[in-house]
């Protein structure tokens, strides 16, 4: 998680976005290196699309800085955007154009050199399996194909950073599988951010996951850590409300994250975890917090997400796999 900042493809620091009085993104920082495929998870309205728009340079943050491959997005926007491939949630396609015509325009817009234009378009078409529809008018194609075209336009200039906003939206199970394999084929010298509200989707495609809610980062871990037996995660339920500072520097705790002020997830070293839980309880009492329950959690990502679902009331959330 402690990325080497000299080789970071994406560095976002202290991002804040406000819509009037509403804070859509709250002091969020993020670093991505080559080979990272980050799954951005959150409920509807959590701030995923807003964050992705800021990272894609289509909107500037109220405060904070974004740097793409060493280029500051606010000071060198053209150089920074040259490294970005952005596929918004709604495919930005022209229905009256054929697939090839649209991709040619997208490539020219991304300043692909004339000599490389045909090769780049053909590669994007091949990667996204669009060979059979290259001369078809986009408006006559299915939503699944339009999502592939959306991905192809983001890939056509071979960007270092790929930003995909819910690319699985509206796809049927077969199309989901194809989209998943497309994202997995993306080269290792690239970094990808993949937003979704499908937990299973992220677990299958990404190697790192970040959960956001109400514009705040709740969790940011490599997915391997979820299956790491050397660490144990507990759900702490407190009687009263606590803040991040109240739970700082707990003994043996590697990471904490919160769903709300009363529900906390703490990850500890598995060794001697029972003793660690006792110590945590003691420290919390010293800090004036009363512990109601301590439950071991097998998959704290799932736990966090199900808790988010509970807190969101009747908002529909998919937790399981989508395939």
Partner 1 sequence: MIGTIARHELQVYCRSAFAWIAAAALQLILGWLFLSATEQYTLLQNSASHAASTGLTAYLVVHFIAPASIIMMLATPLLCMNLIAAERQSGRYLLFASAPVTSGEIVLGKFIAAIAFQLGILTFSALLVSALYFAVPLDLTHLLSAYTGLALFVALATALTLLFSSMTRIPALAAFASFSCLLLSWMGSSAGTDMAIGQLSPSSRMHNFMQGLLHTGDLMYFVCLCALLLIVCSWRLGSSQDYRGTPV
Contacts with partner 1 by CB under 8 A lie at: 18-20, 50, 53, 56-60, 62, 74, 77-79, 81-82, 84, 86, 88, 90, 92-94, 96-97, 101, 105-106, 108-111, 153
Cβ nearer to partner 1, comparing 20 with 313: 20
Q: Minimal distance in Å, beta carbon 50 to partner 1?
A: 7
How far, in Å, CA of 58 to CA of 81, rounded?
A: 10
Question: Token pair for residue 4?
Answer: 């080497």
Beta carbon nearer to partner 1, 86 or 264: 86
Non-local (6+) Cβ contacts of 53 within 8 A are 59
Q: Is 57 left (phi over 0), alpha (psi -120 to 50) or beta?
A: left
Considering the complex, what minimum distance in angstroms separates the CB of residue 56 from partner 1? Answer: 5
Minimal distance, residue 97 CB to partner 1, in Å: 7
Token pair of 182 as six digits: 């497309």
Tell me if 107 sits within 8 A of 157, measured CB to CB: yes
Closest CB 306 distance from partner 1, rounded Å: 30
* Nearer to partner 1 among residue 18 and residue 123 (C-beta): 18
Q: Which of 148, 84, 152, 143 lies closest to 121, judged by CA? A: 152
Task: Tell the smallest beta-carbon distance from residue 49 to partner 1 (Å).
Answer: 9
Q: Backbone dihedral region of 229: left (phi > 0), alpha (psi from -120 to 50 degrees) or beta?
A: alpha
Nearer to partner 1, 60 or 317 (CB): 60
Indicate the residue among 43 and 84 with the shorter CB distance to partner 1: 84
For residues 268 and 230, give the distance between their C-alpha atoms in angstroms, rounded to a whole number: 9
- Residue identified by tokens 């808790």 is 307
CB of 287 to partner 1, least distance (A): 38
Other beta carbons within 10 angstroms of residue 178's beta carbon come to: 17
Q: What angle do CA 25, 29, 31 make, to 5 degrees?
A: 135
Given the complex with partner 1, which of 109 and 237 has the nearer CB atom?
109
């Amino acid at each position: 998680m402690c990325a080497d900042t000299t080789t970071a493809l994406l560095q976002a620091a202290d991002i804040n976005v406000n819509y009037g009085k509403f804070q859509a993104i709250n002091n969020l920082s993020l670093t991505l290196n080559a080979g990272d495929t980050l799954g951005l998870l959150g409920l509807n309205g959590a701030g995923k699309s807003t964050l992705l728009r800021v990272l894609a340079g289509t909107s500037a943050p109220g405060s904070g800085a974004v740097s793409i491959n060493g280029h500051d997005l606010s000071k060198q926007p053209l150089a920074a955007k040259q490294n970005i491939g952005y596929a918004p949630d709604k495919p930005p396609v022209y229905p009256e154009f054929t697939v090839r015509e649209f991709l040619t325009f997208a490539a020219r817009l991304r300043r692909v050199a004339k000599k490389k234009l045909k090769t780049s378009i053909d590669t994007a078409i091949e990667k996204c399996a669009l060979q059979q529809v290259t001369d078809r008018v986009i408006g006559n194609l299915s939503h699944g194909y339009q999502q592939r075209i959306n991905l192809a336009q983001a890939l056509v200039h071979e960007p270092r950073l790929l930003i995909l906003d819910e690319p699985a939206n509206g796809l049927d199970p077969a199309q989901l599988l194809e989209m998943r394999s497309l994202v997995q084929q993306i080269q290792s010298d690239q970094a990808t951010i993949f937003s979704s509200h499908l937990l299973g989707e992220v677990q299958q495609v990404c190697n790192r996951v970040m959960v956001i809610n109400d514009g705040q980062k709740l969790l940011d871990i490599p997915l391997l850590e979820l299956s790491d037996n050397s660490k144990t995660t507990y759900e702490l339920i407190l009687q009263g409300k606590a803040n991040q500072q109240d739970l700082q520097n707990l003994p043996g705790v590697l990471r904490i994250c919160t769903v709300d002020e009363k529900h906390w997830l703490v990850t500890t070293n598995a060794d001697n975890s029972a003793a660690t839980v006792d110590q945590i309880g003691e420290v919390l009492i010293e800090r004036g917090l009363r512990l109601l329950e301590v439950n071991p959690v097998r998959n704290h990502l799932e736990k966090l997400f199900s808790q988010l679902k509970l807190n969101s009331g009747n908002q529909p959330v998919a937790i399981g796999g989508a395939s």
